[in-house]
Structure 1
Amino acid sequence: MKVSAFVYPWDVNGDPDAARRIADLGVQQVTLAAAYHSTRALTPRHPHHRIVTAEHASVLYPVDEQRWHGKPLGPYAAGDWAPGDAYGEAAAALADAGLDVHTWVVLAHNSRLGADHPDTSVRNAYGDRYPWAPCIAQPATRTYLVDLAAEAATRPGALGTELESLGWYGLAHLHAHDKTAGVGLGEAGQYLMSVCFCPDCEQGYAQQDLNSAELQASVRTALEPLWRGHAADDGWPTVEKLLGAETAAATRAHRDATARSLQEAAVAAVREAAPPGFQVLLHADPVPYHCGANAGVDPAHILSVADGVVVPCTGGAGLVRPFAEQGRGVVAANLTVVGGMGGSPGTLAEDARAARDLGANELRLYHAGLASDADLAMVTEALRQL
């Protein structure tokens, strides 16, 4: 099984030992961030810093100014956390260490965009905006995301890309000083709180014969039992029970078609810009109504569009099976190997075998830069066993 480790440019740049250290883990590939959201990251081995604060979503390379000239939305340059061509510098060092380099591109997850252009954000049934979540139904946002995918994915020397957050983002979001866990919304509540009511989505609902004002009221009514803690949650059947099966299906028809067409357009744009043989993968969840970094998709559809998927497996490898059953493409199991972030580096070999038994044919390790020395030692031993 091919194994790739996720890496940030700031894990490598300025540390002459970083690229060789990653190669010595036993991985064949790195998935290197080229466009990324805001974060605060530990760098436990870097000779010059221990904490990197990426203050806003940004590209980690110099943009093509001609591509973005005159467009209403565009990418943001990084600050001192990734100056200049940080991606290119790190990619060169990693390639010199014998590693294949693929880009890691975060798309519909951008708090800076939401702050500067509030109308681009998902707006829930109560009128609250989610600045981290660009609404993918809006034409200008879709154009921006497709252009960003094509530019960030195809950095010089890259052999492939992994596109993250290429779909709907919703309520669930790691946030500074978060205080949203007081009510257990479950899958049903997460969906209902992620249904967007911006003008473009309202037009989309109208095409499904839904009155937007009536739908907005229905979503708020459906959420009331959850706020009081009275509703059991069994996923989509609960959404249908709370909202009505016909209405629920109509919201999904708009949202699913919107996400599918964006994914098709972004993958096509990447392939047009990329050299022959360039691999395009999506971070994906096989439950189509799920929101977030791992976009909810229909497995058969997405594997007819992209070359494969990267599937979250930290809580178990069960999500691999629906993709593997399609019998095509890359199905990469993404395993967290940072013990302090809920990962299990000590059981990596066992977890990898379990994922392989369910049909995974590649592995992704999150994250070579964030893990402790002890975590990385366990990773090295596990990969030797595999």
Structure 2
Amino acid sequence: MKASAFVYPWDVAGDPEAPARIASLGAGQVTLASAYHSTRALTPRHPRHRIVTAEYAAVLYPPGERWAGRGLRPYPAGRWAPGDAYGEAATALTAAGLEVHTWVVLAHNSRLGAEHPDTSVVNAYGDRYPWAPCIAQPATRAYLVDLAAEAAVRPGARGTELESLGWYGLQHLHAHDKTSGVGLGDAGQYLMSLCFCPSCAAGYGEQGLDPARLAAGVRAALEPLWRGAADDGGWPAVEKLLGQDTAAATRAWRDTVARTLQEEAVAAVRAAAPVGFQVLLHADPVTYHCGANAGVDPAHVLGIADGVVVPCTGGTGPLAPFAGRADGGKVLAANFTVVTGMGGSPATLASDAARARAEGATELRLYHAGLASDDDLSAVREALSGR
């Protein structure tokens, strides 16, 4: 079963031993970040540093001329990935015999929200989420589609993985998060992620909803959760809190927005890419879920993309909705965290991979070759050697 390891350019640039070390894992492919959100990352083997602080969401290559004069445009990286850090790393990894695919983070950008606050998701209380661009807004959609095409199709890349190509909401690891005092559950997360910017207000109107009454209804539905009431979980709990028809209307609007953005972004990547270029989406099979693994309709997404990358560290259950539709050469990649300190279990990777294969997975993704300890990497090598 083919495998690919996630890598940052700063794991490779400046470390002449990194390409051979990554190649020795036996994966054969790397998914290399070309556009990425802010982060603080460990580099436990790099000869020049141990911590990299990416201060804001950026492209890790020089942005192109298409952005000239545009208000919304990608930010070039700072000192953590100067110049064409992506290109430098990709060249070194290719020379080590690895197939390179791009890793593109899209609707997750705190700097964009800070400098252009009107682009952000606005919840029912009027709070803005600067990390979450509202994907219903025309200018934001145009920015995301063009970013997808440019960041995905880098020189020498054989394919791409598009992350956060959908709604981002409340759930987000932010600087010194202090948001877990009340357990909102699945339904509460959905209600707190509904956007009420002007574009979404107009969209709710198209679904027959009055946006002001809807916002008041969302606040009323959330009130018992703030007081400690149990969230029954899942979509039935949303229907119970908001009302079945109202809940369905909000979901119809949001599902349409996400689906059409995914269609436009994938089409833009294909238009810019050479023949045979692979396009995958990081995906969650529940359409109303928000986050890096965007909620998708499995049949729809497999109809437009070459496959999906599905989070499986917490269990392989999310594979099932895709498995029955991943025919005709479609990729169903099971993504496992292999960093013990981040909740992964590289020691059980072989058995995890076997279970994923039995449940329909065609490939593996390993998160993350740069962050893992030496012991974690040794366990990965052993697991992959027995495939």
TM-score over 0.5 (shorter chain): yes
1:230 CA drift (Å): 1.2
CA distance in 1, matches of 2:177, 2:326: 40
Q: Tell me the equivalent position of 1:351.
A: 352
Q: Residue 182 in 1 paired to residue 181 in 2?
A: yes
Deviation per CA, 1:327-379, whole angstroms, max 9, x where unpaired? 32100000000000000000000111111110000000000000000000000
CA distance in 2, matches of 1:103, 1:71: 24
Read off the aligned partner of 2:160 and give its amino acid letter. T
Partner of 1:163: helix, strand, or coil? strand
Partner of 1:229: helix, strand, or coil? coil
1:231 CA drift (Å): 2.8
Q: Tell me the equivalent position of 2:15.
A: 15
CA distance in 1, matches of 2:365, 2:131: 25
CA distance in 2, matches of 1:209, 1:118: 27
Q: Tell me the equivalent position of 2:370.
A: 369
Identical residues among aligned pairs (%): 77
Is the 8 Å Cα contact of residues 186 and 231 (structure 2) preserved in structure 1? no
Partner of 1:180: helix, strand, or coil? coil
Q: Tell me the equivalent position of 1:103.
A: 102
Partner of 2:166: helix, strand, or coil? coil
Is the 8 Å Cα contact of residues 307 and 326 (structure 2) preserved in structure 1? no
Read off the aligned partner of 2:341 and give its amino acid letter. G
CA distance in 1, matches of 2:54, 2:120: 21
Q: Tell me the equivalent position of 1:94.
A: 93
Q: Tell me the equivalent position of 1:341.
A: 342
TM-score for the superposition, normalised by structure 1: 0.99
CA distance in 2, matches of 1:343, 1:176: 22
Q: Residue 384 in 1 paired to residue 377 in 2?
A: no
Partner of 2:101: helix, strand, or coil? strand
CA distance in 2, matches of 1:123, 1:22: 42
1:232 CA drift (Å): 3.1
CA distance in 1, matches of 2:166, 2:301: 12
Is the 8 Å Cα contact of residues 119 and 137 (structure 2) preserved in structure 1? yes
Is the 8 Å Cα contact of residues 135 and 196 (structure 1) preserved in structure 2? yes
Range with bigger deviation, 47-56 or 323-332:
323-332
CA distance in 2, matches of 1:197, 1:327: 35
TM-score for the superposition, normalised by structure 2: 0.99
Q: Residue 33 in 1 paired to residue 3 in 2?
A: no
Is the 8 Å Cα contact of residues 336 and 343 (structure 1) preserved in structure 2? yes
Once the two structures are superposed, the pairs formed by residues 1-386 of structure 1 within 5 Å of their partners are 1-65=1-65, 67-328=66-327, 329-386=330-387
Is the 8 Å Cα contact of residues 72 and 140 (structure 1) preserved in structure 2? no
CA distance in 1, matches of 2:275, 2:231: 50
Is the 8 Å Cα contact of residues 3 and 364 (structure 1) preserved in structure 2? yes
CA distance in 2, matches of 1:144, 1:284: 21
Is the 8 Å Cα contact of residues 152 and 160 (structure 2) preserved in structure 1? yes
Read off the aligned partner of 2:2 and give its amino acid letter. K
Read off the aligned partner of 1:113 and give its amino acid letter. L
CA distance in 2, matches of 1:237, 1:251: 14
1:162 CA drift (Å): 0.1
1:233 CA drift (Å): 2.0
Unpaired runs of at least 5, structure 2: none
Range with bigger deviation, 288-297 or 317-326:
317-326
Is the 8 Å Cα contact of residues 15 and 46 (structure 1) preserved in structure 2? yes
Is the 8 Å Cα contact of residues 102 and 161 (structure 2) preserved in structure 1? yes
Read off the aligned partner of 1:33 and give its amino acid letter. A
CA distance in 1, matches of 2:261, 2:133: 13
Unpaired runs of at least 5, structure 1: none
CA distance in 1, matches of 2:192, 2:256: 19
Read off the aligned partner of 1:345 and give its amino acid letter. P
Read off the aligned partner of 1:94 and give its amino acid letter. L
Range with bigger deviation, 334-343 or 318-327:
318-327
Read off the aligned partner of 1:37 and give its amino acid letter. H
RMSD after superposition:
0.6
Partner of 2:317: helix, strand, or coil? coil
Deviation per CA, 1:217-260, whole angstroms, max 9, x where unpaired? 00000001111111332210000000000000000010000000
